[in-house]
Chain A
Amino acid sequence: MNIRGEVVTMFGLAGLGLTFWLGMEWAPSVSINAFKAPDAQRIFYWHVPSAWAAMLAFGLLFIGSTYWFFKRSEWAWRLHVASSEAGLATGLMCVWSGCIWGAAEWGVPWDWTDIRLNTFAMLTLLSLYLVLGRKSQPDGIEARDTFSAFGMYGFVLVPITYVATRLWQIRHPGPVIATSEGSLNSDMSIVLLIGAISFTVLIIGHVMAGMRLTNLELRLEDLQRQYEERSE
């Protein structure tokens, strides 16, 4: 069965829509004692899942980059391309929503000394670099090797970002899910879970669609070459 990435993406978008609605209408409000801007807290329902999706995308980027670099797998290169775009989009969503929420809750949109904020932004910038860089170069082994190398080395930031709030709580709060220290209201957890699943489905759909796109681009180039050879 050949399921198109676009179809999976639609399911993901539907899930996001549901998350949004539940987050606005159903999830409980938070106390003014716990949050400076209780209304803005509802950003949480897309902010956290988008961060999770971005991490997933960066993980796929690492896999694609590594497999291309060491095994010269065409499939892996398509995964690199698709996941760098996915990481860029979800990374930007997380950084954007995080800055807005930070402005509301902390009074500042950014903190240059917070490890998590900066390493996450760095990963997003790395994706932007990979996406723009690839568009600036003709496709070939040199470009693929160079960008895969950056994709591999950049991955070192992922575990740092993940553990950052466990080791150094500077500005960004620590984990509230799946830990003994944090606690989340069960209704909030349900909405968050739906959001996480929806973003996961979205990422998978987009990566599938993106890989198909790269395949189409390569097919187009081959056809163009055949056409030119035929015309000579």
Chain B
Amino acid sequence: MGVIELSKLTVRRGRSQVLDSWSVSIDSGEVVCLSGDNGCGKSTVIETAAGLIPMEKGSSMISGQLIRDSEGRRGRTKFGLCLQDDCVMGDELVQERLLDAAGCNFDVSALLKNWGLEHRIHDKIAMLSGGQRRKIAILSGLIPAMISTEPVAVLLDEPDSGLDDDSVDKLVQIIRDLAAGGHAILVASHNSKVISSADRIVEFPFSERKGEPTTGTFNPIEKGTDRKSFIGHRMNLRTLSGVANNAIAGLLTLGAMLALLNPEQLENRLLTAFILAPALTAGLCGNPIHRLTLENRAHSWWNTKSMIPPNSIFHSFIIYSGITALASIITGELYLQLIIVGAVLGTITEAIVGLLSHATLRLSRPNAVMIRLLTPILLLPWALVVDTLST
């Protein structure tokens, strides 16, 4: 079995059938290039292989692990991915993105030096030019293989787009070096230099010919200690998205209620509702990291790393505790039980709304769909909790 094994893929996109029982097997040390007209299905192959698109029939396996099949079964393993979209969030730092792609510490500045980007190591990706951003996206896709001595799959979709000639030459050299190191690479491209780096060229979908690539030399980058990403929490601290998106809604709710009610005169049900309402409103705003991941389709890249979308749930718990505590203090007393309940309620509400938003990411216009229409369902449990606690 190859490192990349795509079997009998049948995939529909929009109204068309793009792939019909299409298969390819890529062994260790092999580079396969998909070339063909725009819209013929090359990107669909890459995204299906990465498990991002459901398939009517067939399966995708990488390094012996099932990534996705037509029954809906899914799995994850380490592989490199670079899509046509850069899949980077503007507020990510260059260094942290590359470290997250590697999953461990390594000498990022040495790598960036080869690409003329060492002076940008601590910059936000939003500050880079389009070409520079593309280089970071490509490196994010190549790094899992660059640091590994075991065969790793690499999926690249039009990696050359937005690159100058020198950078394309560097890319081609890296591809050959990785192949020499035993890694398996599937690349979709129109660029003649990239095509020439392939051992096999598939003129999509059916015709195949052998390539005559040069030989490379693989020198793996030295790995450091393992590293956990916590991208959601880091992004939240950097952007204060949890405050701007969620906390502000809770505070506004509190403010509006103060304009209408005298908190010191509230009793029982009204008092409980007053204290718990801000956390509910804040939670209804959903996952504060979700909208950041919509940038450049970053959610797709992170989806291949983890089933759980980037989130800042621990920070959210603190925010909801804080808002509920504030509401409680305003009434003249600190109700510890209600603060804990408010924190939990707000966090669960945020998680559910976040999941609802995540469920619509497959749509071509996910921002146009009014997911908030479904959020009133969360009022019922809130009201029941208020009722229960006030008795």
Contact = CB atoms under 8 A, between A and B. Distances in A.
Interface of A: 72, 112-113, 115, 118-119, 121-122, 125-126, 128-129, 132-133, 136-143, 145-146, 149-150
Contact of B363 (A121, A132, A146): A146
Contacts of B15: 139-141
A218 to B, nearest CB: 9
Contact of A115 (B54, B364, B380): B380
B370 A129 contact: yes
**Which of A112, A119, A145 is most buried by chain B, counting CB atoms within 10 A of its CB?**
A112
Given A113-B380, A122-B380, A125-B374, 7 more contacts: A113-B387, A125-B373, A137-B364, A137-B365, A140-B13, A142-B363, A146-B360
Nearest to A122: B377
Given A72-B56, A125-B376, A142-B14, A132 B370 contact: yes
A121 B374 CA distance: 10
6 contacts: A133-B360, A133-B369, A137-B364, A141-B14, A142-B362, A145-B54
Contacts of A72: 56
Given A118-B380, A119-B380, A140-B14, A145 B362 contact: yes
Interface in B342-363: 359-360, 362-363
Contacts of B13: 140-142
Given A113-B383, A113-B384, A115-B380, A129 B371 contact: yes
A150 B364 CA distance: 17
A143 B382 CA distance: 31
Main secondary structure of the interface of A (DSSP, over half): helix
Interface residues of B, number: 26
Nearest to A121: B376
Nearest to A136: B368
Contacts of B373: 125-126, 128-129, 132
A122 B387 CA distance: 20
Nearest to B361: A146
B70 to A, nearest CB: 11
B12 interface: yes
A118 B384 CA distance: 11
B379 interface: yes
B376 A142 contact: no
Interface of B: 12-15, 54, 56, 359-360, 362-365, 368-371, 373-374, 376-377, 379-380, 382-384, 387
A225 B369 CA distance: 26
Contacts of A112: 379-380, 382-383
Contacts of A132: 369-370, 373
A122 B376 contact: yes
A129 B384 contact: no
Contacts of A133: 360, 369-370
A149 B369 CA distance: 15
B125 to A, nearest CB: 27
Contacts of A113: 380, 383-384, 387
A177 B69 CA distance: 49
Please give me the 8 A-B residue pairs with the lowest Cβ-Cβ distance, nearest first: A140-B14, A112-B383, A136-B368, A129-B373, A118-B380, A133-B369, A142-B362, A141-B12
A126 B373 CA distance: 7
A142 B380 contact: no
Contacts of A139: 14-15
A143 B368 CA distance: 12
Contacts of B376: 118, 121-122, 125
A119 B379 CA distance: 11
A138 B369 contact: no
A165 to B, nearest CB: 15
A149 B363 contact: no
B241 to A, nearest CB: 25
A139 B15 CA distance: 7
Contacts of A122: 374, 376-377, 380
Nearest to A115: B380
A115 B373 CA distance: 18
Nearest to A140: B14
Nearest to A222: B15
Contacts of B364: 137-138, 140, 142-143
Contacts of A146: 359-360, 362-363
B272 to A, nearest CB: 12
A113 B272 CA distance: 14
A217 to B, nearest CB: 12
A150 B359 contact: yes
B159 to A, nearest CB: 25
A125 B106 CA distance: 51
Contacts of A143: 363-364
Contacts of B371: 129
B108 to A, nearest CB: 36
B365 A136 contact: yes
Given A126-B374, A129-B370, A129-B374, A137 B380 contact: no
Contacts of B379: 112, 118
A149 B365 contact: no
A187 to B, nearest CB: 36
A128 B372 CA distance: 11
